[in-house]
Structure 1
């Protein structure tokens, strides 16, 4: 027994020494986690913006930690601006906000992710379009042409994959190849307007503390009317309900806690190894259907035969139309398009575009690209 205790003691000393060396060797590295917290002074917190926001909105800004659903329920409508920054919005709250906009409110959402209610309502497809580590934010208004902002640290690269004709493009981003991608749009909705910006980094401490960077921020918010603005913020003080939140928030206590768990784990491992019989592992029968499909997909992807992939996707779609919708697919003409439009309720423009891509897929002499395959696959999935 004494021999085992010596082993435990040696392991414990080794772990303690390693932790001490790691602590002594820590360099005061900047925290670049995207927390977008109003009280955080880290690089990507909103501490600076939160302190200056009231003057930016001419002392007409109010912050609230309740949900939009609870805030607007039971209240009579009054024209105002609604602001949400990098915060998750539940479906019911998003619907409440849209109701306010429809009556005349203006809603600005600055986030890398948009609620499905808004995405589906306006046909927005947001995706990462740019992986360049240096991007420049521009506004389309000529008056703001000189107020661009360089993002040289972890830009999100999120933008709008499809832009509806009813959208007004307000801002874009450029990379080092001068490729333009939209990231700030305006949507007319009822009597009000919706402003969507997909790059919240321009509000963070890291960029606002740069000289001249505040001009871009001021330009973005200048689109909102000069009136009362309500900002829905998250309650960071109650964000964690864990009983260990005090221990985990203190570095010294956190290291002690992990050391305790590590020692406990070593103790359990050594004791189980001595007392527990080896239990044979009987693996269940594996369903290799998914592996087969994945292997076939990888094979097509490696070969780069986008034409064949488009052809097979078109055949599968037309077979589904024949079996599920009972529509004759012999001729992909105007009559076919109208029938498919009536039975699916999808826009006739998307159906005609899908028919054009399917005809190219079935023509062995046509030239197709990867983008055509992606576009056709997206259209066919939307139709059925």
Structure 2
């Protein structure tokens, strides 16, 4: 056991040292996934924009986590603003948004993922893609010509390949080796207006935290009217209900958990080879007295000696009377019967019949039948109860 314990201790220390070295040399890695999540503090999350949105919309912003199809299906709204930021909506939700715009609402869509039939109805076709590593987002409006934002990390390079004549271009993407292409448009739709921007990346934490970039964002949203604004948010980081979420969310606790599981696996692996000695089955001591009595009883039954059995039963009964009730059994007369009647509370007739059978069993010349033995045995047992 001591040797096994030492092996486990050495393995545990080695594992701990390896984990410590890995932790010391570990480099912090950033998550560059374009998640557009309002709770994400990663470079391409919307945590900063979510915190600034309240002031940007003058406290008239309402964030909705329901799909537009569910939200508008349950209530009727007056004309308002609608904001969509890179949200994968179903076609029915897009149609609900177009219905709201037709009735006087304005929609600002910052996304490059719009269903084709919806984009066609708005007034543009599939967007072009540029693979340039850097570009600049600018406005075409003169009052905003000095406001721009430079995208130097993973720009999508999206732009409109074809725009219908009734669509107004508000912004463009400028690249060194490519022609400018429109990325921000405006079009009337029924009683309302639709704005589409194909590069929502400028709203992410990475770009909003850079000096001067906030102005570009303010200019984009300045096209919306000063009224209630509904933002259908994308929230991929809802709180997990997994019971281990707190442990796994903390690096130190997470490593401790994995070390514990690793140690448990090693313990099971090494102990699986151990074999326990066979435990001998110890038979309990048998009560031979009962077997002996049964054997003697069977012997008497086989021999058919009922007279001897009555004599022995009578002897046992009288001995019991002497020991338990302190009654002299030498003379089994009326006085004996009366004393036994008083001590046991049994009827005098039963006692008299039992005495007669006892005398018969003690008489060596009496003719004893099996029925006499059975009757005497029943009476004596009844008296001793």
Q: Quick one: distance in 2 between partners of 1:88 and 1:27?
A: 33
Shift in CA distance, 79/15, structure 1 to aligned 2, threshold 3 Å = same
Q: Does the C-alpha gap of structure 1 residues 233 and 266 become closer, same or farther in structure 2, counting only changes over 3 Å?
A: farther
Aligned length: 272
Q: Give 1:49 deviation, angstroms.
A: 1.6
What CA distance in whole angstroms lies between the structure 1 residues aligned with 2:67 and 2:102? Answer: 19
The aligned runs of 1:1-384 (5 Å cut-off) are 18-116=18-116, 118-119=118-119, 121-122=121-122, 124-127=124-127, 129-236=129-236, 238=238, 240=240, 245-255=245-255
Inter-partner Cα distance in structure 2 for 1:11 and 1:127 = 58
Name the CA distance, whole Å, in 1 between partners of 2:184 and 2:20.
Answer: 48
Q: 1:176 to 1:73 in 2, by over 3 A?
A: same
Deviation at 1:30, TM superposition (A): 4.2
- Describe the shift of the 1:264–1:46 C-alpha distance in structure 2 as closer, same or farther (beyond 3 A): same
Structure showing greater Rg: 2
RMSD of aligned residue pairs (Cα, Å): 3.6
Spell out, residue by residue over 1:8-36, the C-alpha distance to the aligned partner (whole angstroms, 9 max, x if none).
Answer: 99998877655433321123444433222
Distance 1:264 1:217, change over 3 A: same
CA distance in structure 2 between the aligned counterparts of 1:95 and 1:209, rounded to whole angstroms: 35
Q: Deviations over 1:173-216 (max 9, x none)?
A: 11222521222112321111111112112112222222221111
Deviation at 1:108, TM superposition (A): 0.9
Aligned-pair CA distance for 1:241: 5.9
On the 8 A contact 2:37/2:235 being kept in 1, the answer is no
Contact 2:64 2:231 in 1 (8 A): yes
The change in CA–CA distance for 1:178 and 1:120 in structure 2 (over 3 A counts) is: closer
Q: How far apart are the structure 2 equivalents of 1:180 and 1:8? A: 67
Residue 224 of structure 1: how far off its partner (Å) = 0.9
Quote how far apart the aligned CAs of 1:120 are: 5.0
CA deviations 1:106-164 (Å, max 9, x no partner) are: 11111232245523544754456122221100111111111011111221222223333
Aligned-pair distance for 1:59? 2.1
Structure-2 separation of matches of 1:104 and 1:230: 14
Question: For 2:186 and 2:174, how far apart are their aligned partners in 1?
Answer: 19
- Any conservation in 2 of the 1:126–1:158 contact (CA below 8 Å)? no
Distance 1:23 1:111, change over 3 A: farther
Going from structure 1 to structure 2, the CA distance change for 1:267 and 1:92 (only over 3 Å counts) comes to farther
**How many angstroms apart in 2 are the aligned matches of 1:198 and 1:110?**
6
TM-score (norm 2): 0.59
Q: Matched residue of 1:238: which SS?
A: coil
State whether residues 129 and 156 of structure 2, in contact with CA within 8 Å, keep that contact through their aligned partners in structure 1: no
Alpha carbons of 1:263 and 1:210: their partners in 2 closer, same or farther (altered >3 Å)? Answer: same
In 2: Cα distance, 1:103 partner to 1:12 partner: 69
Deviation at 1:37, TM superposition (A): 2.2
Distance 1:245 1:117 in 2: 42
Describe the SS at the equivalent of 1:150. strand
Indicate how the Cα distance of structure 1 residues 185 and 9 shifts in structure 2: closer, same or farther if over 3 A, else same: farther
Instruction: Note closer, same or farther for the CA distance 1:9–1:153 as it changes in structure 2 (3 Å cut).
Output: farther
Q: Retained in 2: the 8 A contact 1:91–1:116?
A: no
Listed as ranges, the gaps of 5+ residues in structure 2 are 1-5, 269-385
**Is the 8 Å Cα contact of residues 185 and 196 (structure 2) preserved in structure 1?**
yes
Kept in 2: contact 1:124–1:160 (CA 8 A): yes
CA contact (8 A) 1:248 1:254 kept: yes
Which runs of 5 or more residues in structure 1 are unaligned? 1-5, 269-384
Secondary structure at 2:161's aligned position in 1? strand
